[in-house]
Structure formats: C-alpha cells, structure tokens
Chain A
Amino acid sequence: MEAISGTAFVVATIVKTLVFFVILLLGVALTTYMERKVAGFMQDRSGPNRVGPLGILQVMADGLKFILKEEVTPEAAHKRFFLLAPVLALFPATVLFGVIPLGSPLPTPWGRVDMIVADVPIGFLYVLGIASLAVYGVVMAGWSSNSKYSFLGGLRGSAQMISYEIGLAMSLVPVLMLAGNVEMPVLVSMQQSFAAGPGTYGVWFIFPLLLSGFFFLVSGLAETNRVPFDLPEAEAEIVGGYHTEYSSMKFGMFFLGEYFHLITTGALISVFFLGGWDIPFWRGDNIRVLADGTVIGDPAWWKTLLTMGAFTVKTTLLVVFFMFIRWTIPRFRYDQLMDLGWKVFLPALMLYIMLTAVAVFVLDRAQIVGPAFAGALFGLNLLLMLIFLYLLDRGRLVRGATAKTRAATATEGD
C-alpha cells in the first residue's frame, strides 16, 4: 500500500500530532496520580482518595490549584530567564515523543498512515539532541532564581545530567551496531518476534544487549532526576533544588516536564530494547515498511490498535517500575553519583562497546544470522552482566559511606 502523501499527509500529520499529544498529556496527568497511589501502596497507606472515585479527580484539583495560586517572582531574579526556564524544562519533554513509533501502520482509504508523528531519517539523533536540551531548563532555573538553594540545585543538576548523558548516548551504540540504522521504525521492525529475513533478529534487543539495556535504564533514571539520582531537588538538603523559587504553574511546568520525561524514557526503553510496539509470540504483527516503500506483512486497523496497546502496556510497566525504584532505594551521595557515572559507567561502556564490536565481527565472519546471532550475543551479555555486578559490589568501586569512614579511621590509627 502506498504511503499517504500531499495534502492528506499534512492533514493526517496534524490529526496524529494532536491526538497523540492529548493522549500523552492525559497519560502524564494519570501518571502523577499513579505515582501517589503507588507511593501509598508502597508505604501501606491509601494515597489520594477524597476527590472523586478513588481520588482520580485529584489530578484536576491539582491542575486547578497550579493555575490559581499566586505567582511569585523573586526581586533579585533575572526576570527573562526566570520565565524562560520552565518553558525550557517542559518544551523538550513534550516534543521528544515525536519520533517514537507508537504502533503498526494504519491503512486508510487515502493511503498508509505510519503511527509516528515525524518519521524523520535521523530519529535517533533527534532523541539525543532534544533530550540533552533539558539541562538548560535546570541551569537557567538555578541561575536566574538568585537563591542559594536554587543555585546549588542547578549546579548539581547540570553536572549530573551532562555526566549521565554520555552514558545514555554510549549505551545505545551497541544498539546501532546491531541495527545499522538510525531510523526508529527500523529499530522496531528488527526486533519483531519470530520475524525472518535480512536485517531482522526475531528477538527484542534486551536479550542480545542486556548490559546495554541496564546502562540505558540507569542513565535514563539519572537524566530524569529521579530517585536514586534526585540530588538536584533533594528536599532534605537544598529545599526544592533548582525550582525552590518557582510557584504556581511555573512550578507545575517543571513538575509536568519531569513526568513527560519519565514516560518518554519508558517509551524509549521500549523502542530500543523491548521491541517497541511488537507483540511477543505473535507473527501477525510483523509488518515492516522497507526503505523503498514496499510493505511486508498485512496492516489492519485492529492490528494498529493492538500494537499501540502493547506499546502502552510496556511503557506503563516501565513507568511503574521507575516508581517502585523511587519508593525503594535511598538517594545516592554526590560523590558516589559522579563516581558511578565517570569511573564505572564510562570505562565499562567503552569496554563493552569494544567487546560487542569484536563479538559482532566474529559472528559475522562465521556467517551466523538472525536468532542464532542474538542468542550468541545473549550468552556473552549474561556473562558480562554477572562480571559487572560482581565488580560493582559495595566496597570495590562505589564505596559505601561506612567503608570510607572505616578506611579513614584505619589510616588515622596507624
């Protein structure tokens, strides 16, 4: 089936963008509610339960409150940057999802509509570029507020975000090695379960690239400033961090941006490692659009709905997983955080990229393809994962506070 073109394409794109955007906005609202419910569940209390049935209207109450509360702009603040910072925090988060494939192509009377807002040929680079813009919101908020807590939060946040951005980008290099392409829909079609043919592996990338997925998950958490990496807004140390001085909807925009980022990180992990919209153990959704426009497989509207549902389920499960982490793990200390980023992740990733490159090279020479190729890499990754976790053990590289104190007192005693 031909791809949709001309005026119909523009109309379809506008409709797609608006529909997906509204869904995402509702999703963000529900995520904030879910976070509190999960927090309640983890701490053995009810969470919000007064506004509406099960407290679900709490979201709307919060939104209204954000809008109606007084806006306070500190006297000493740099007014223009103070206003710009929340925009820079929210805007990249809202446009990031544009290159994420959300479902299988939808056949319409006017042609095939791909379930992606912008199928740009540089999808992967778009993700990296836009994601790194988020740091400007933090820096600008911290600096322009002219408050000490904000400033400390901004400093911490910027150093942390740029440190883990390296991990974020480098952990995806093995994915690109396997994919040989930076287009997001191609990444998904390569992982479709049981798919056969050149350039497909038939399994999700989390199996052949287990360690890569682990690095991306942790770096993603650090990028979104979530526990255990929430030092920029550590409330026990620096009040609210970079958004201490923000009130009303300006604070709400930071808040929303964070949840947008959370959902997008979940979606990105799904696309890169969990097969995107692929439904496991089912061949019916193996629909691929080749570079010349030919379609392999059999698109149908119900398949589009099913695959979008699968994608939503994967993303939601990851978001819930992030929430479980938030209410389970205590915060890192700042030196531990930077040690983990620079002394553990960076060298480990460089080594991992080299090992993966050698493995892929050897497997290519041995002319092993498809699932066998993925299986061999999975074995290697399992081994590397075990070695990595063994090395990461407390007291070796990332030392606990007690170990450090013990070492200090031991040297004093000598």
Chain B
Amino acid sequence: MKQAYVGVAILFLVGLLTSGMFLLLSHLASAYRPTKVKAMPYESGINPLGDTRERYSVKFYIVAMLFIVFDIETIFFIPWAVIFRDLGLFGLIEMFIFIFVLGVGLAYAWKKGALEWD
C-alpha cells in the first residue's frame, strides 16, 4: 500500500511544475512597463485613502475560533463513523454524549451572539 504514495509524489511534482511554469511563462512573455500610478492599490480610480491594514470586525476572529473547535470535532467523527457498526450500542451512546456536548457548545456560542452578523 505504501507504494501508492509514489502517485501522490508524482502528482505533487506535476502540480508544482504547472504552477511554476505558468508564473515563469507569463513573467517572460508579458510586457513590463510599470508606472507610479499603475502600482497604486486599486480604489475605484481615486487616490488610496489611508492604510489597508487597519482594525477589522472581531467577528472574523470569532468565526475562526469556532471553526477550530468544530473542525476538530468533525475529525473525531471520522474514525468513529468508520468503526461504529462494530462498536454497537456502546459506540452509539458515546457519540450521543459527544454530540450533546458539541450541541451545548454551539448553543452557548449562539446565545452569546457569536453567530450574529448585521
């Protein structure tokens, strides 16, 4: 089974080469006449106002944190789902408890307003 990874390695190589080739090809073939105005960030034609890297809504951080929690929970589902028919009633009840805890977490985040966008 380990030799199957040869395919992955070859595919990665082909994928990287394709990306590199595209970059190189356009870099070599394209015209290059930079001007000061061209190199400005695009803001619908007016001069850029202020810096981009300012503070932004905290909601995006919250989504990222919730994602980490719930995505890791999802990873726990996968091995359980694969063998759950061999585990029988024990596996079923265990996972019910797990989903219940997960649900409490979601309900808490919901109640706290972490999922609200306006």
A350 touches B6 (CB 8 A): no
In the bound assembly, the distance between CA atoms of A76 and B36 in angstroms comes to 11
Interface size class of A (residues with CB under 8 A): 35 or more
A166 touches B19 (CB 8 A): no
Give the Cβ gap from B19 to chain A, nearest Cβ, in Å. Answer: 4
Known: A147-B42, A148-B41, A173-B81. A95 touches B12 (CB 8 A): yes
* Those of A227-252 within 8 Å (CB) of chain B: 239, 244-245, 248-250, 252
Q: Does A68 contact B (CB under 8 A)?
A: yes
Looking at chain B's contact residues, is the secondary structure mostly helix, strand, loop, or mixed?
Answer: helix
Q: Does A334 contact B (CB under 8 A)?
A: yes
Interface size class of B (residues with CB under 8 A): 35 or more
A339 touches B115 (CB 8 A): yes
In the bound assembly, the distance between CA atoms of A346 and B110 in angstroms comes to 12
A148 touches B43 (CB 8 A): yes
B6 touches A13 (CB 8 A): yes
Known: A70-B32, A120-B8, A346-B106. A166 touches B74 (CB 8 A): yes
Known: A70-B33, A176-B78, A244-B42. A91 touches B71 (CB 8 A): no
- Most A Cβ at <10 Å: residue of B25, B43, B74: B74
What are 11 pairs between A and B in contact, CB < 8 Å? Answer: A16-B7, A69-B26, A72-B34, A74-B42, A83-B23, A94-B15, A94-B18, A117-B11, A162-B63, A249-B30, A334-B117
| A contact residues vs B (CB 8 Å cutoff) | 5, 9-10, 13-14, 16-18, 21, 25, 66-76, 83, 86-87, 90-91, 94-95, 98, 116-121, 124-126, 145-151, 155, 158-159, 162-163, 165-166, 169-170, 173-174, 176-177, 179-182, 239, 244-245, 248-250, 252-253, 334-335, 338-339, 342-343, 346-347, 350, 353-354, 357-358, 360-361, 364
